[in-house]
Amino acid sequence: MIHLLVSIKQVPDTTNIRIDPETGSLIRKGVPAILNPYDAHAVAAAAEWKRKLGGKITIITMGPPSATLALQECIELGADRGILLSDRKFAGSDTWATSYVLAEAIRKIHEEDPIDLLFFGKQAIDGDTAQVGPGVATRLEFPLITYATNIREINQDEGFVLIERKTELRTEIIRATLPALLTCEKEIAEIPYAALPDLIKSLRYETETWTAEDPVIYDETKIGLKGSPTKVSKTGTPKQHEPGETFKVAEIGLKESVDTVFEKMISNSSVASLWE
Amino acid sequence: MSNEKIQFDVVVVGAGLAGSTAAAIAARHGLDVAIIERGRSPGGKNFFGGALYTHSLEEIYPDLWDRKPPLERPVTETGFWFLSKDGMVKATVQGGRINNEPIDAYVALRAKFDSWWAEQAEEEGAFIIPKTLVTDFIYEEGQVVGVTTDRPQGDIYAPVIIICEGVNNILTQKLGLIDHDIQPTKAALAVKQLISLSPKTINARLGLPSRKHGMAISVVGDVSMGMPGLGFLYTADKAVSLGVGVTLHALQETQIKPYELLQRYLEHPAIAPIIEGGQLMEYGAHLIPEGGWKEMPKLFTGGAMVAGDAASMVNALHWEGTNMAIVAGKQAGLTAIEAHQKGDFSAQTLSSYQDGLQERFVMKDLRQYRRMSKFLANHPEFMEIYPTFLNDAMGNFFTSFGKPKRQLYKEIWRSLTSRRSLLKVIGDMVSFGRAVIGI
Amino acid sequence: MDKKNKVNREDLPEVYIDDILMSLKYYTDEHEFHLEIIDPKVCQQCVDKPCIDFCPVGCYRAQDGDTVQIAVQSCIECGTCRILCPYFNISWKYPRGGFGVNYKFG
Ligand SMILES: Cc1cc2nc3c(=O)[nH]c(=O)nc-3n(C[C@H](O)[C@H](O)[C@H](O)COP(=O)(O)OP(=O)(O)OC[C@H]3O[C@@H](n4cnc5c(N)ncnc54)[C@H](O)[C@@H]3O)c2cc1C
């Protein structure tokens, strides 16, 4: 029996974001919240290994009460338990404070029911920092493998994992002792079409909420805005580019369009490096 | 993962209006009801013109208004617009009994409304299983006892299944309740654009006194280019819905693109000023069953009933479909309760579903209008000649200043008879009358 | 009566359907296509190829003159093609649960 933990985040669906034509800024209102796509793949990978080895999957997330929906989705994908860390005092946490909050909760879970392998998404699509997974690994002093693309082996008897990870130049195969922490690329597993019993279980899921006092007592100077060293001094909207030239495929034909686009790109030298 | 059999007292297929109603009624009585819906959530697949009818909503929830239904504007003006190529004659009613509270009809957007309607069923105790497609039935000894779905380990059992799958009644066909797929002459394809405009603009352009006033208009004539079909206009709060539906048969014959037909309507000189400057919020398309009574499947069999569009319960001329779906859903829910009380789910017990519906406007109207779709298919003049004539006639009438009026009437008369012989006109009127009265 | 001639096609405005489809939200199934042409040869022999016209989202497009391609990801699941394909050459299913068009307004 194996105990897998996946840490997830609910994020705004950035494929659904529109830009306000007047101010040029993002319209956040009404944007649906989704399970961070990389996290979904991480859960799918955990579910695959649960099927192979038998065992259970715990999901953990920090977020507002509405993040229950993301936990529900993880149950649908095959997870067994979902814990929501939700408290006003957590609000405004940066990646530093967030990794503290998560690490302490995970420590608590690990004490009660030892975890073999921890999964994070590569990064969240709203902040794109890719810092929280590594932050948690460091605090817990677990080996960290980022950008994991494939789990070759989980060997509980000998206490190691074999993981493939992607770098810009090559694929590496890493052996790490358990418990280890992975941050996952989408290739790590395909999202399954959930079985009906899992879907029904997710629909019946009732949130298990942990606060800043219970069951873990947090140091209030280390959480929320107060505990966050990151200071955003100013935000701005990048200047909008002039729209480029438009060629209608319907008017000039497909071949002509492709040729034109290529010519433009090459003459702007924007693809030159690819050709060399 | 458990290998336990998934079992409910009632399974409803489809969380549309019929489905969520059937489920609410059965759940209110304490039955364990599942609604299986293929959309991501109820409403995501549903699409109409259109207007909902207060009588049907209040019949299910007498405290409707306390529940704050997400309706758009009440319909305080309704009727026909007759389009000629470049003009329009309006024949609408407003005020009078239309304004009596509660208003008879409300414009709605189905994605929002159906999601809310399903929530009401949930509050009654129904369990909604979204994102799941029902694919077939499970039988035991010739009786339906469950459904299969497209999910792994996806079988769900219940002694009574209520099929509310909408116009594409694939499951109804699979079950053998009807022996053929939809025929091109028995369904219309409607395409629609929802166009956002400020409430002020809508009021000003359509002559509505306030946001508490709205329109439901059937548009006849040039909009369908002579094909059997209708256009429509409905006012949401901050948007207008404009669409056109023509029979599949007509699409087949003319080979026109539905979205071009719609665009032509939107560019009509009498329509374009209404939507000028508006933004397209959503486009969509959906079939409307128009076969009515003649295309109605058998409504029940051992262990299953069918309600709503799936059972061809639409009165196309009056844009009545939602209320029929709701009333039929309710009747099916009541019958499921009765079957559970008896502990008998045979066709004989479920036949009381049909008996119940006979007493309601659903079956009465559908029977009365049974000749309508054939009538419209055979009388394209109703879509073209008469609306154009009407425009000519009214145009003449109101511009005949300084002309002897006897000549005016002659001209009007000639504008009709040059289009269609007097005998044919009389014949048209008689058969239209018959199709409506149903004799 | 030849209806094809009866409707004056000149009268119809040209519409770029893809622009209009930008208003729709889809959840695309990357793994399974719910529409398929059963026998491509039948389409090659089909002279009129009415699917190119009757589909309300223009899913069906002529390719190299005589074959037909389906842009499944634009499908809004109305059912017209199942009924109107003159050779019943389209295998028509709904997408898997949760996939396909998702109306925001309806
Ligand atoms: C353009 C247009 C305008 C209209 N205007 C009006 C109007 O103004 N007034 C009026 O009263 N009526 C109007 N109608 C008709 C009305 O919309 C329908 O009669 C009504 O929606 C029927 O409700 P239903 O519950 O039977 O079907 P639907 O509302 O179609 O619901 C069927 C449900 O079943 C689900 N489903 C289907 N198959 C499966 C499956 N295998 N597994 C799981 N789920 C499945 C679907 O996703 C859907 O949620 C209009 C229709 C159209 C197209």
Residue B65 inside a domain? The answer is: no
Domain ranges of chain C: 32-97
Contact C96 A16 (CB under 8 A): no
Higher pLDDT, B102 or A228: A228
**Residues listed for chain A:** 276
What residues does B110 pair with on adjacent strands? Answer: none
The per-residue pLDDT for range B158-202, each reduced to its tens digit, is 999 999 999 999 999 999 999 999 999 999 999 999 999 999 999
Look at C5 and C55; give whichever has higher pLDDT.
C55
Looking at the fold, whether B197 and B278 belong to one and the same domain comes out as yes
Closest partner CB to C16 (pick from A16, A193, A250):
A250
Burial of A237 (0-12, 13-18, 19+ CB in 10 A): exposed
Query: What's the DSSP call for residue C95?
Result: P
Q: For the CA atoms of C38, C39, C42, C44, what is the dihedral angle to 10 degrees?
A: 110
Contact indicator for C1, B253 with CB cutoff of 8 Å: no
* B298 and B324, same domain (yes or no): yes
Residue B384 and residue B335 share a domain: no
pLDDT of residue B1: 46
Residue A269's pLDDT band (boundaries 50, 70, 90)? low
A203 contact residues in B (CB cutoff 8 A): 127-129
Q: Is C2 a residue whose pLDDT tops 70?
A: no
B242 in the same domain as B384: no
Ligand 1 test: best mutation among B164, B265, B312, B357, most atoms within 8 Å of CB? Answer: B164
Name chain A's partners: 3 or more CB pairs within 8 A: B, C
Token digits of residue B324: 């029929």
CB distance B186 to B249 below 8 Å: no
Q: What pTM does this model have?
A: 0.90
B100 with B240, same domain? yes
For residue A94, the model assigns a pLDDT of 94
Distance of CA A84 to the CA centre of its chain: 15
Q: Would the pLDDT of C1 be above 70? A: no
pLDDT at B39: 98
**pLDDT for residue C22:** 94
Number of H helices, E strands in chain A: 8, 13
Domain boundary assignment for chain A = 2-222, 241-276
Domain final residue, candidates B240, B267, B290: B290
Q: Give bridge partners of residue B77 from the DSSP assignment.
A: B94, B215
Domain span at residue B34 reads 6-38+132-179+294-368
Residues of C in contact with A190 (CB under 8 A): 31
User: How much distance in Å is there from the Cα of B46 to the middle of ligand 1?
Assistant: 6
The angle formed by the CA atoms of residues B139, B143 and B149, to the nearest 5 degrees, is 35
CB B6 within 8 A of CB B155: yes
Q: Above 70 in pLDDT, residue B431?
A: yes
The predicted structure's pLDDT at residue A276: 45
> Across chain B, what does the average pLDDT equal?
92
**Residue B271 in tokens:** 């329509």
Contact partners, residue B19, CB within 8 Å, separation at least 6: B12, B13, B35, B37, B162, B164, B307, B308, B329
Helix, strand or coil, per DSSP, at residue A227: coil
Are B166 and B266 part of one and the same domain?
no
Which pLDDT belongs to residue A179?
97
Cα B180 from Cα A60, distance rounded (Å): 52
What is the rounded CA–CA span in Å between residue B145 and residue B346? 11
Asked whether the predicted pLDDT for residue B3 surpasses 70, the reply is: no
| Protein residue with least CA distance to atom 39, ligand 1 | B165
> Is B118 within the bounds of a domain?
no
| Ligand 1 contact via B322 beta carbon (within 6 Å) | yes
Topology, domain C32-97: Alpha-Beta Plaits (3.30.70)
Q: How far is A14 from chain B (nearest CA, A)?
A: 18
Same domain, B277 and B139: no
Q: Parallel, antiparallel, or unpaired: how do β-strands A117-121 and B134-140 relate?
A: unpaired
Question: Is C33's pLDDT higher than 90?
Answer: yes
DSSP C81: H
> Regarding predicted confidence, which is higher, A157 or A250?
A157
Residue B227 has a pLDDT of 87
pLDDT of residue A98: 97
Torsion of CA B339, B342, B344, B345, to 10 degrees: 0
Walk across the sheet containing B187-196 and list its strands.
B88-94, B77-83, B215-221, B229-235, B239-247, B187-196, B279-289
Give the pLDDT score at A51.
95
Q: Which of A135-149, B42-56, B393-407 has the lowest mean pLDDT?
A: B393-407
| Residue A272: per-residue pLDDT | 55
Q: How many domains does chain B have?
A: 3
Give the pLDDT mean for B61-69.
Answer: 97
Residues B263 and B207 grouped into a single domain: yes
For residue B289, the ligand 1 atom closest to its alpha carbon is 19
Q: Supply the pLDDT for residue A180.
A: 98
* Cross-strand partners of B191: B244, B285
Ligand 1 centroid to residue A18 C-alpha, Å: 30
Q: What is the ipTM of this complex?
A: 0.95
CATH number at B219 reads 3.30.9.90
Over 80: is that where the pLDDT of B97 sits?
no
Which CATH number fits the domain A2-222, given the four candidates 2.40.30.10, 3.40.50.620, 3.30.43.10, 3.40.640.10? Answer: 3.40.50.620
Q: Give nearest CA residue, ligand 1 atom 17.
A: B48
Say whether B45 and C77 touch across the interface (CB within 8 A).
Answer: yes
Query: What are the tokens at A98?
Result: 């967030």
Share of chain A above pLDDT 90, in %: 74
Whether B216 and B333 map to the same domain: the answer is no
